[in-house]
Amino acid sequence: MRLAGAALGVLVALIILIAARLGGRSATLAGPPPILTVIPIPTALPIPTASPEPSPTPVPPGSPTPDQQPLKPFTVGDLVEVYGTQGDGLRIRGSPGLEAPILILGLESEVFQVVEGPVISDGLSWWRIANLYDPAATGWAADSFLRSLEP
């Protein structure tokens, strides 16, 4: 920012110098002496005013909110993404169940392909999923943290 200010100062000084030289020869030039107009550069951008936010549409009691909309079911072969972990990631396990060892952590929005399932264990529906780019990254995940990418 200092460099831009210094360059602006040099430019203004150069314009003043040229105008002074031309002003000294005004007697030999035809017409009136040139007029120099300096227009200052704004130093701050205008701050936009916040537009009022629309009031939320009331949701009838018992209706699911957008975050609670039922997810599209998926089947073997479908592409799914890790969803709803709030950035914590999805624990992908060696077998279906909460006590199974964790093999890898699926990151939020990471895409997998469903290769087997569902298996019901510990009250959850489990699907065996595989990373498309790393075949070794395969394991079982609860479907409550998976969202179908199929149309």
- Residues 15 and 39: their CA atoms lie apart, in Å, by 12
Which spans in the chain are helix H?
2-24
Amino acid letter for position 112: F
Evaluate if residue 29 carries a pLDDT over 70.
Answer: no
Average pLDDT in the chain: 76
**Do 76 and 143 have their domain in common?**
yes
- Residues 110 and 132: their CA atoms lie apart, in Å, by 10
Q: Phi, psi (5° rounding) for residue 145?
A: -120, 20
Q: What is the pLDDT of residues 55-70, one digit of tens each?
A: 555 545 544 444 444 5
- Residues 86 and 109: their CA atoms lie apart, in Å, by 10
pLDDT band at 1, cuts 50/70/90?
Answer: low
Does a structural domain hold residue 52? no
Give me the CATH number covering residue 140.
2.30.30.40
Can you give the residue range of the structural domain that contains 5? 1-41
Amino acid letter for position 52: P
* Global pTM value: 0.54
